[in-house]
Amino acid sequence: MVKFSSVPLFIAWRYWRSKSADRFGRVVTWLGSIGIVLGVMALVIVLSVMNGLQQQQKDNVLSTLPHAVIQPLDGNLAADFKLRQPLPPFVQSAVGINNSDVILQSTTGIGAARIIGVTDVADDPALAWDELDLPQLLAPSDYHILIGAAVANELKLQVGDKVRVMLAANSQYTPFGRVPVQRLFTVAAVLHGDSSSDQRQVYANLQDVGRLLRIPPEEVQGVRLLLDDPFKITELPDYFPASEWKIADWREQKGEFFQAVAMEKNMMGLLIGLIIVVAIANIVTSLSLMVLDKQGEIAILQTQGMKKRQVMQIFIFQGLLVGVIGTLLGCGLGLLLAEFINPIIGVFNPGAVALPVLFDGTQLMLIVIATLGLTLLSTLYPAYRAAKIEPADALRYE
What are the sequence ranges of the domains in the chain? 7-59+258-394, 68-249
Looking at residue 130, its pLDDT comes to: 54
Quote the pLDDT of residue 21: 47
| List of residues 6+ apart from 253 with CB closer than 8 A | 65, 195, 197
Quick: pLDDT tens for 260-296.
878 888 888 888 888 888 888 877 877 777 777 777 7
Is a pLDDT exceeding 50 seen at residue 208?
yes
pLDDT band of residue 1 (cuts 50, 70, 90) is very low
> Is the per-residue pLDDT at 49 higher than 80?
yes
Residue (of 298, 392, 334) closest to 12 by Cα position: 298
Burial zone of 197 (CB within 10 Å; 0-12 exposed, 13-18 middle, 19+ buried): middle
Does the pLDDT value for residue 205 go beyond 80? yes
pLDDT higher than threshold 70 for residue 358: yes
- CA-to-CA separations, 188 to 97, 106, 107, 192, 338, in angstroms, rounded: 19, 15, 17, 14, 48
- pLDDT, average across residues 248-269: 78
Residues 6 or more apart whose CB falls under 8 angstroms from that of 168 comprise 101, 102, 103, 180
pLDDT for 333? 92
* Distance of alpha carbon 385 from alpha carbon 254, whole angstroms: 54
Q: Band of the pLDDT at 204, cuts 50, 70, 90?
A: confident
Residue 125 DSSP label:
G
The model's pTM is: 0.67
**Cβ neighbours of residue 258 closer than 8 Å, sequence gap 6 or more:** 54, 57, 58, 251
How far apart, in whole angstroms, are the C-alpha atoms of residue 118 and residue 132?
Answer: 14
Report residue 109's pLDDT band, with 50, 70 and 90 as the boundaries: confident
Question: What is residue 196's predicted lDDT score, i.e. its pLDDT?
Answer: 44
Bridge partners, residue 245, by sequence: 72
**pLDDT tens digits for 59-77?**
776 766 677 888 888 777 7
pLDDT band at 353 (very low <50, low <70, confident <90, very high): confident
- Is the pLDDT confidence value at 16 over 70? no
Instruction: Identify which has the larger pLDDT, 82 or 336.
Output: 336
More confident: 42 or 22: 42
**What is the DSSP annotation of 256-282?**
HHHHHHHHHHHHHHHHHHHHHHHHHHH
- 109, with CB counted inside 10 A (0-12, 13-18, 19+), is exposed
